[in-house]
Structure 1
Amino acid sequence: EESSLPYGNLVVSNHLLSFREWERLIKSTGEEFKFYFPYPDLDFTNTIYTNDPKLGQIQSVETLFKDYRLMMFNDVQALNEINKSGYFKDFSNCFLIEIGSPSNVEMIKFSLERKPEFQMMTSILKNGTERSVEKKCICNAGIKHLDKIEEYYHRFNKYNQNLNIAYCPLKRKSQDTLEFKYITGENLEEKIELAVMKRDRSKIESYLKIIDELASVGERSPFKPNQRFYDVFGKRNYSLLENQECYDIANIDLIFGNVICNNKYYAIDYEWVFDCTIPKSYILFRTLLHSYALSKLEPSDLEALYELCGINEQLKDIFMEMEYSFQDYVSHLKISDIQKEYHLLKLFPYDLEQRIRKIELIQGEDKHTYYFDNGPSFNETFDIVPGIDVKLLIHGKSILGIHQLTVDGKAVSFTTNADLIDGNNYYFLNDPEICICAPAGNQLDIDGYFYLFNDGNIDRIVELMNLIGELAGQNHALQKHLDSLLSHRIVRLLDRKKK
């Protein structure tokens, strides 16, 4: 944050200590201490770890970064591999240190991206040698959601006859909090990871069978969508699902990371169970879709698993549309919306200079910064305050065609710092400035085209254009001189004839 450069903090400061350096320093004092690791970053925290995450918990790394962000590698894959190697804490980009008597918190996960009625704070707490998991609704509107979770837990136990599977036991701690038993053991995602590394197809299929068993509890029923189904998964043509296998209790979040292997297989997170018929194949689709370990398989091997679950390409298309609708049902707030609101871009390093355009709109003391990445076209709208001079400052020398500039739909005059103007085309050797004097309106629209942007050839082009202009001027002067000489000779010849 102290520098606009990538990794700028490391350049401008020599007072930053790593996790290991802090750890050694505090140990030398003899004090008790505890580290907390906000993830994915300090500004947009959705999980706080104290220990390395389990495999499958790192599924997204979207952050509320301040400016453009360079895409140098696959962040999710990199962090999962770092985590497996035991270096998660070393590579965390921020941490909180508690010195003294540490709290009993081992992990907290916030679901703030959801609608208020689904927002939860899930905590893993340790008291002595005992651990527990608490799920607390953040808003009062979430109490009904907790009621549903508790209801479905009892319904599952009522119907389940399979001694090999179970839902993680819970009890109501208070109106706004459920307490779950902490189940020790490996999650299925970790087991799947090992099977993928060994290319053990039979093991992968056996773990899929566990998911199948957990999804096959209750009374089997035909697929018959009701209004509840349409509310969650959208209204579309579902005729292809008419012969799909469905059960009374449809927990759609049976991903591998939510199943712990102990003396039996426990589903530890069952928030998303609905009062409608949902095809078991959709549940299995989500299991395959959201597995980090399975994403490493060859496409043909992964496709074979979809086929094993009876999911063809047509069903995939329907299930993906259902998934989009489900995500919309849970949350109105998308990471992409946040990025758009803050004008944030993710760019590959080689794209940075040529694609990103940083534009500042300045009115008096107010300055707003925008980032655009939409090709050479420059068709943008800006909100402005009437009666105050406007300056648009574009970062990056350019050759810019300004076809039209209007305020509230009416063309306005403007000035620039262009080094060369050729009709509607403006050649800038410095950051372009477009100035409008006290516009009488609220909306500024500019329609233009970047012929070149941040291109090292612009200086040479302007030099050549100026040279062409000079040559044209010299040519015109020469032609004028020749015309003058010619006229003079003609006059002399005519005079001779007269004599």
Structure 2
Amino acid sequence: MLSDFDDIELEEKFDYIVLCNVFEYTKSFVKSENPYVDYLNYLKGFLKEDGVIFLALSNRLGLKYFAGFKEEHTNQLFAGIKEYFNTDSIQTFSKTEITKIIEKAGFSNYKFYYPYPDHEFPQILHTDKLINTILDKGIYRYRNERILFFEEKKLDLILSEEDLSQYFSNSFLIEIRSSDNDYPTDDMDFIKIATDRKEEFNTYTIIWSNGKVSKSPLTSKANDHIKRMFEGRKNDIGKIRCLNSEMKGNSLYYDLLKQSSYEYLLLDAVVKKDKEKFFKLIESFYAAMFYNSFESDEYATEEFLKIFKVKSDIKFHCHEKSNWDLNFNNLFLVDGEFTAIDYE
């Protein structure tokens, strides 16, 4: 349908209305004293009783803009931070500002998600419950050029410790609900989407409010990958044990660990410039990983070469079965014991 927004006439009501990179331009097509409030009110009339508006837009106080990225709408540094000085057609908002607009439009039931690296190509969706607890913000990968004022990751660690990350998230995805009823997404506290690999490895992970974590295939081709992970729980690596899990349908479920990840412990030592603690953590990891290993140059099985392509003549420390995804973000210390949560 080709029409101006204010001329659309429809009898249908909808489950979802999606506004991605649209709301920022509202004052250019809604002529009123409160264009953003009035626009949400207008859209409310198209929703079913339990309908949802998904509002995705940049945070004008996003950390990446302080760190040297140009604002996408103007291609200028600090444009949103300066409230788009000399620009009449565009406006983005801080968390507090967009919250006030939503509530003035008569919505009382809404949920904030914080997409990383941003809302256009998200890898991770944080929520208010865990954004300052789980430090996984994915890879800082953007399409724009930048000036490197500082590395975002270190400052984001400090913001998390101060319970401030939600205010400096690069983007918002807001689920604005038309009723006060319960919604299926109420119990979702964290979502991670793995689509930057081959289709047979595409999965998504959800942390649920009941303390469970699910890992599910995004496509039917990834079903076998989830099943292999389930089988992988039986294989400890050195002194690193795999967290127990269970299968429900095509999804893998395990308990959420409350401890900080090993990555957090390492980054915390870096931020605090505690070199002794940092190297002690690294040495403990190596001791656990190499425990009961053997040196061999006969590791290049047909399955190994299918994935890694080449074999070296050097002897390496090996286990009969090794964890291919043993990065520090997937590693925890539980009662003094190394525990892995992602065992491919």
TM-score if structure 1 supplies the norm length?
Answer: 0.46
CA contact (8 A) 2:124 2:137 kept: no
1:43 paired residue number: 120
Give 1:195 shift. 3.0
In 2, are the aligned partners of 1:125 and 1:133 still within 8 Å (CA)? yes
SS at match of 1:61: coil
**Conservation of the 8 A alpha-carbon contact between 2:123 and 2:192:** yes
Distance in 1, Cα, partners of 2:222 & 2:113:
27
Determine which of 88, 94, 98 is the counterpart of 1:18: 94
| Alignment counterpart, residue 207 of structure 1, candidates 275, 281, 300 | 281
Q: Does 1:227 align with 2:307?
A: no
- Where in structure 2 are the equivalents of 1:333-352 lying within 5 Å? none
**1:289-300 correspondence runs (5 A):** none
SS in 1 for 2:204: strand
CA offset at residue 105 of structure 1? 0.6
* Secondary structure, aligned partner of 1:245: strand
Amino acid paired to 1:120: T
Pair 1:78–1:207, CA change in 2 (3 A):
closer
Map 1:24-423 → 2, pairs under 5 A = 31-50=108-127, 51-52=130-131, 54=133, 57-63=136-142, 65=143, 68-73=144-149, 74-98=151-175, 99=177, 100=180, 101=182, 103-126=186-209, 130-156=210-236, 165-174=240-249, 176-212=250-286, 214-216=288-290, 220=294, 222-224=296-298, 225-235=300-310, 238-239=312-313, 241-242=314-315, 244-263=316-335, 264-271=337-344
Measure, in 2, the Cα distance between the counterparts of 1:262 and 1:26.
Answer: 42
The amino acid that maps onto 1:230 is L
Tell me the amino acid that sits aligned with residue 261 of structure 2: N
Instruction: Give, in whole Å, the separation in 1 of the partners of 2:201 and 2:213.
Output: 18
Please say if residues 34 and 97 of structure 1, whose CA atoms lie closer than 8 Å, have aligned partners that are also in contact. yes
C-alpha distance in structure 2 between counterparts of 1:260 and 1:4, whole Å: 43
Does structure 2 conserve the Cα–Cα contact (< 8 Å) formed by 1:116 and 1:142? Answer: yes
SS state at 1:154 partner? coil
SS in structure 2 of the partner of residue 184 of structure 1: coil
* Most deviating of 133-142 and 47-56: 47-56
1:420 corresponds in structure 2 to none
In 1, Cα distance between the equivalents of 2:274 and 2:147? 33
- How far did 1:150 drift? 1.2
> Greater CA deviation, 95-104 or 146-155?
95-104
CA distance in 2, matches of 1:72, 1:214: 37
* Higher Rg: 1
Aligned-residue CA RMSD in angstroms?
Answer: 3.1
Contact 1:221 1:245 in 2 (8 A): yes
Deviation at 1:108, TM superposition (A): 0.7
Secondary structure, aligned partner of 2:207:
strand
Q: Which runs of 5+ in 1 are unaligned?
A: 272-499
Judging changes above 3 Å, is the alpha-carbon distance between structure 1 residues 26 and 166 closer, same or farther for their aligned structure 2 residues? farther
- The CA deviation string for residues 285-332 of structure 1, in whole angstroms up to 9 with x for no partner, is xxxxxxxxxxxxxxxxxxxxxxxxxxxxxxxxxxxxxxxxxxxxxxxx
Counting matched residue pairs gives 256
Question: Structure 1 residues 206 and 252 mapped into 2: Cα distance closer, same or farther (>3 Å)?
Answer: farther
| 1:450-482 Cα deviation digits (max 9, x unpaired) | xxxxxxxxxxxxxxxxxxxxxxxxxxxxxxxxx
The verdict on how the C-alpha distance between 1:123 and 1:209 changes in structure 2, with shifts beyond 3 A counting, is same
2:301 and 2:241 mapped to 1: Cα distance? 28
Q: Which residue identity is paired with 2:310?
A: K
3-state secondary structure, aligned to 1:150: helix
Unmatched 5+ stretches in structure 2 = 1-20, 26-72
The 1:133–1:57 alpha-carbon spacing in structure 2 relative to 1, beyond 3 Å, is same
Q: Is the alpha carbon distance of 1:257 and 1:53 closer, same or farther for their aligned partners in structure 2, counting shifts above 3 Å?
A: farther
- Which structure is higher in RCO with an 8 Å CA cutoff and minimum separation 6? 2
Q: 1:55 to 1:131 in 2, by over 3 A?
A: closer
